[in-house]
Structure 1
Amino acid sequence: MKIDLSGKTALVTGSTAGIGFAIAKGLAAAGARVVLNGRDGARTDAAVERLRADVAGADLRGVASDVGTAAGCDALVAAVPAVDILVNNAGIFGPQDFFETPDAEWERFYAVNVLSGVRLSRAYLPAMREKGWGRVLFLSSESGLNIPVEMIHYGVTKTADIALSRGLAKRMAGTGVTVNAILPGPTLSEGVAEMLSDDVKRSGRPLEDVAADFVKAHRSTSIIQRAATVEEVANLCVYVASPQASATTGAALRVDGGVVDTIA
């Protein structure tokens, strides 16, 4: 299968590193014009240059804005008025006990993980509908189905992303626009590497091995028994963003290594 996204413009939020950067790279390699986004201007510019080095001839642009705020979303839409592919990837995570998580942290997680996608979808979907073609992806998580006891606030936002994507898919019925949620499991992103950095230093073992131990201990239902790579997650995203995925919409698509222990 050859995926050709020539002539399509894709926006990937939170794409200066990790899964977001890998998605941007995959879309650029398929021929899309890609807009990278991050909160920090210098990091966003650096990510653009890194991607330009990775994908020869890529058509790239970087826009720095904090999509966790209404003003940041407005600024991004003003800079990029229309897209064909919207990847709502920006997100935050981190363990914190439920009884020690204040309202402010719940609100921060909801603003970044949910409202960013609400605002950008509201801005970009009407033009996709008018054009008769578009793709919207929400980066949810297997934690949206298996709420992790160590970060309930995070899991709740990822469940909201699944519900939002399903509702928007139905709202766009018959328009040629698809909306889907992608559910990664533990993935070797920079964020996970940072979370496991103390264990890596203490043990002197490779990150991949430490991550595999984490998966076995905390996501014991994993079938692959390891963390996924960011490229493995990005591969699914590129397909879902493609013309070939025209009959896939309203779905919660798992790339979780089999962590969710159900056949449905």
Structure 2
Amino acid sequence: MQLNLEGRTALVTGSTQGIGAAIAEGLAKAGAQVGVSGRTEARVDEAIANLTAKVPGAKFVPVAADLGTEEGAARAVELMPDVDILVNNLGIFGAKPAMEIGDDEWRLYFEVNVLAGIRLTRAYLPGMTARGWGRVQYIASDSAVVVPAEMIHYGMSKTALLSVSRGFAKEAAGTGVTVNSVLAGPTHTGGVEDFVYQLVDKDLPWDEAQRVFMREHRPQSLLQRLIEPEEIANLVVYLSSDLASATTGGAVRVDGGYIDSILP
């Protein structure tokens, strides 16, 4: 399949590292101009330098803004007034006993993981529908369906994204714009390595720690390993292309078989 995104402009939120950086790289390889977002200019510049080394000749747009705030969202739209592909990847996560999660932390998870994507969708969707083409994606998680006992605030935020994406897909019905969520499974990133070591013996070498984590905390994974960020990016690039024109309003899985259900 030819995934040609030449002439398209994309914005990937939270794309200085991990899954977001892999998505930015994948979209750039397919020919898109890609906005790389992070909270500081230094982080964004470093990420763009790394991406440019991997995809020579690609065009990246720096978007230094805290997208978890209204001001940050306005700044992003100022820097990139029109985008064809919006990938709402920004998110925070961490383990905490359910009864210890206070009101401020519940609000923070909703603000960053849910409302940030809603703001940008409201900003960019009208332009997409007017042009008759667009792609909006929300990077959700297996935790949206299989809520982890150790981070129910994170699970709540990802479950909300399934409703948000389905609702905006209805808003965009018949316009040529698709809106989907991506159910990503346990993925190997620097942040996840830190998370794994919150739950297993910190003295274990990484390969062994990963196996213990999957066996004890994610035993339902059929892949039986952490997913690599590039594997998430492959699905996102496909959903961003013309080939996925009939896929909208969906919760599309790249979860390694983690969710024990025929449907999401």
TM-score normalized by structure 2? 0.97
Q: Following the alignment from structure 1 to structure 2, what is the Cα–Cα distance between the partners of residues 110 and 62?
A: 25
- Please tell me whether the aligned partners of residues 9 and 33 of structure 1 are also in contact (alpha carbons under 8 angstroms): yes
CA RMSD after TM alignment: 1.2
The residue type paired with residue 42 of structure 1 is A
Could you say which residue in structure 2 is the equivalent of 1:141?
A: 141
- The verdict on how the C-alpha distance between 1:169 and 1:222 changes in structure 2, with shifts beyond 3 A counting, is same
Q: Following the alignment from structure 2 to structure 1, what is the Cα–Cα distance between the partners of residues 80 and 46?
A: 19
- The verdict on how the C-alpha distance between 1:243 and 1:200 changes in structure 2, with shifts beyond 3 A counting, is farther
Could you say which residue in structure 1 is the equivalent of 2:258?
A: 259
Could you say which residue in structure 1 is the equivalent of 2:160?
A: 160
Could you say which residue in structure 2 is the equivalent of 1:235?
A: 234
Q: Following the alignment from structure 1 to structure 2, what is the Cα–Cα distance between the partners of residues 150 and 194?
A: 15
Aligned partner of residue 35 in structure 2, secondary structure: strand
Map of 1:46-195 to 2, 5 A cutoff?
46-195=46-195
Deviation at 1:195, TM superposition (A): 2.0
The residue type paired with residue 28 of structure 1 is A
Q: Following the alignment from structure 1 to structure 2, what is the Cα–Cα distance between the partners of residues 200 and 5?
A: 44
Deviation string 1:85-111 (CA, Å, 9 cap, x unpaired) is: 000000000011111011000011110
The residue type paired with residue 241 of structure 2 is S
Deviation string 1:182-209 (CA, Å, 9 cap, x unpaired) is: 0111100111022235758502x2x344
Where structure 2 has 5 or more consecutive residues not aligned to the other structure, the ranges are none
Could you say which residue in structure 1 is the equivalent of 2:214?
A: 215
The residue type paired with residue 242 of structure 1 is S
Q: Following the alignment from structure 2 to structure 1, what is the Cα–Cα distance between the partners of residues 229 and 208?
A: 16
Aligned partner of residue 203 in structure 2, secondary structure: helix
Could you say which residue in structure 2 is the equivalent of 1:202?
A: 203
Q: List, as ranges, runs of 4+ consecutive aligned residues in structure 1 with deviation greater than 4 Å.
A: 197-201
- The verdict on how the C-alpha distance between 1:58 and 1:151 changes in structure 2, with shifts beyond 3 A counting, is same
Deviation at 1:210, TM superposition (A): 2.2
Deviation string 1:30-54 (CA, Å, 9 cap, x unpaired) is: 0000000001210111000100000
Is residue 246 of structure 1 aligned with residue 220 of structure 2?
A: no
Aligned partner of residue 124 in structure 1, secondary structure: helix
Aligned partner of residue 202 in structure 1, secondary structure: coil
Where structure 1 has 5 or more consecutive residues not aligned to the other structure, the ranges are none
Q: Following the alignment from structure 1 to structure 2, what is the Cα–Cα distance between the partners of residues 189 and 236?
A: 17
